[in-house]
Amino acid sequence: MRNRALTPRRCKTIPLYARLVRYGFRKHATYVWASLAGAFTNSVFGVLRAYILIALWQARPGLAGYDITDAITFCFITQAFIGPMQLFGGGLGIPERIRSGDIALDLVRPASLQLWTLSEDLGRAAYLFLIRGLPPMLVGAAVFGIRVPTDLVQWLAFLAGFTAAVVVSFGWRYLVALSVCWLVDDRGVAVASMILTTFFSGMMLPLHLFPGWLGDLAFALPWAAMVQLPVDLFLGKAPAPDTFAVQLFWAAVLLGLGALGTRAIRHKVVIQGG
């Protein structure tokens, strides 16, 4: 594995961030066993959760416009998303750097902390998509049989929606990570984020099953853009342009807030001295 020093000097902006994406990818490639263990666990949970959905769809065929195969596919895609989108939280390393004070070193770099982190996170997500995302899908296909898009356009739409979902998930996790700067104990925020993300993203059950106002609320929140919307693209249940519009809206809102947060943290760390 090559390990070139990552000096922003003499790097043009685009090559710098492209290199950071590759760096994030390779950094995670060193933990291959841990990732495979994660893939195994995600797959086991996929199988167990699939039976719940099968039982439900046997009782209510055609529920939410899904058939049983759609429901099973839904279950395994959500398990496949856990790694790339870090649905249980974390993955950024910023809280540790804020606590240790190393964040000051990141902030004096002549590059945006937010873009820097986003690039590394995209590399990480790409790696985990392969190593933690594909195994649960294969297990689902082998044990129960799943549905995959049949035409190229649908695949492209899914991949675009997936990438947008990773950016939305980054936008949210970045805000959670920055909050450490203002809180003594950040565990509360981490747990709250995990609760909101797992429940309102559709990771536990398709949001279409949420009754009445709860369903409307879930679809109006940013977490739906992480799991439910790209899964519906995969299953071909939602129009791509509308989906992208919602995802881009949330990506813009969260990244915008993140930019404001970065400015505030720079003010706090660099000017007030921590």
Partner 1 sequence: MVRTYFLLIWTWTRAAAAYPVSFTLMILFGIITSGLDVAVILVVFANTTTLAGFSRDEVLFLYGAASVSFAICDMFISNIDRVSQHIKAGTLDTILIRPVGAWIQLAADRFTPNRLGRVLQSAVVLGYAVGALDLDWRRAWMIPVMLVTGIVIFTAVWTLGGAMQFVLIDAPEISNALTYGSHQLNQYPLSIYARDLVKGVTYVLPLAFVNWQPGLYVLGRDDPFGTPEFLRFAGPVAALALALLAALAWRQGVRHYRSTGS
DSSP structural state of residue 62: T
Q: Least separation, in Å, of the C-beta of 22 and partner 1?
A: 23
Contact between 38 and partner 1 by CB under 8 A: the answer reads yes
Tokens 């989108």 sit on residue: 85
Whichever of 155 and 199 has its CB closer to partner 1, that residue is 199
Residue of the chain from 105, 108, 148, 195 that contacts partner 1 (CB under 8 A): 195
Contact between 36 and partner 1 by CB under 8 A: the answer reads yes
Site string for partner 1, 61-100 (x = CB under 8 A): --x-------------------------------------
Contact between 209 and partner 1 by CB under 8 A: the answer reads yes
Q: In Å, how far from its chain's centre is CA 183?
A: 24
Contact between 54 and partner 1 by CB under 8 A: the answer reads yes
Contact between 213 and partner 1 by CB under 8 A: the answer reads no
Distances (CA, A) of 34 to 156, 193, 227: 30, 23, 23
Q: Least separation, in Å, of the C-beta of 35 and partner 1?
A: 9
Contact between 60 and partner 1 by CB under 8 A: the answer reads yes
Write phi, then psi, for 230 (nearest 5 degrees).
Answer: -65, -30
Site string for partner 1, 217-256 (x = CB under 8 A): ----------------------------------------
- The stretch among 93-101, 108-116, 148-156, 184-192 that binds partner 1 (CB under 8 A) is 184-192
Site string for partner 1, 127-166 (x = CB under 8 A): ----------------------------------------
Whichever of 184 and 271 has its CB closer to partner 1, that residue is 184
Helix (H) or strand (E) holding 226: none
DSSP structural state of residue 208: G
User: In this structure, what token pair is assigned to residue 273?
Assistant: 């001295």
Burial of 22 (0-12, 13-18, 19+ CB in 10 A): middle
Whichever of 34 and 260 has its CB closer to partner 1, that residue is 34
Burial of 112 (0-12, 13-18, 19+ CB in 10 A): middle
> CA–CA separation, 135 vs 36, rounded Å?
9
Cα-based angle 189, 192, 197 (whole degrees, multiple of 5): 120
> CA–CA separation, 59 vs 45, rounded Å?
22
- Neighbour count for residue 271 (Cβ, 10 Å): 7
Cα-based angle 89, 175, 124 (whole degrees, multiple of 5): 50
DSSP structural state of residue 181: G
Residue of the chain from 198, 201, 228, 262 that contacts partner 1 (CB under 8 A): 198
- The stretch among 49-57, 134-142, 151-159, 240-248 that binds partner 1 (CB under 8 A) is 49-57
Contact between 187 and partner 1 by CB under 8 A: the answer reads yes
The residues binding partner 1 (CB under 8 A) are: 31, 33-34, 36-38, 40-41, 44-45, 48-49, 51-52, 54-56, 58-60, 63, 184-185, 187-188, 191-192, 194-195, 198-199, 204-205, 209-211
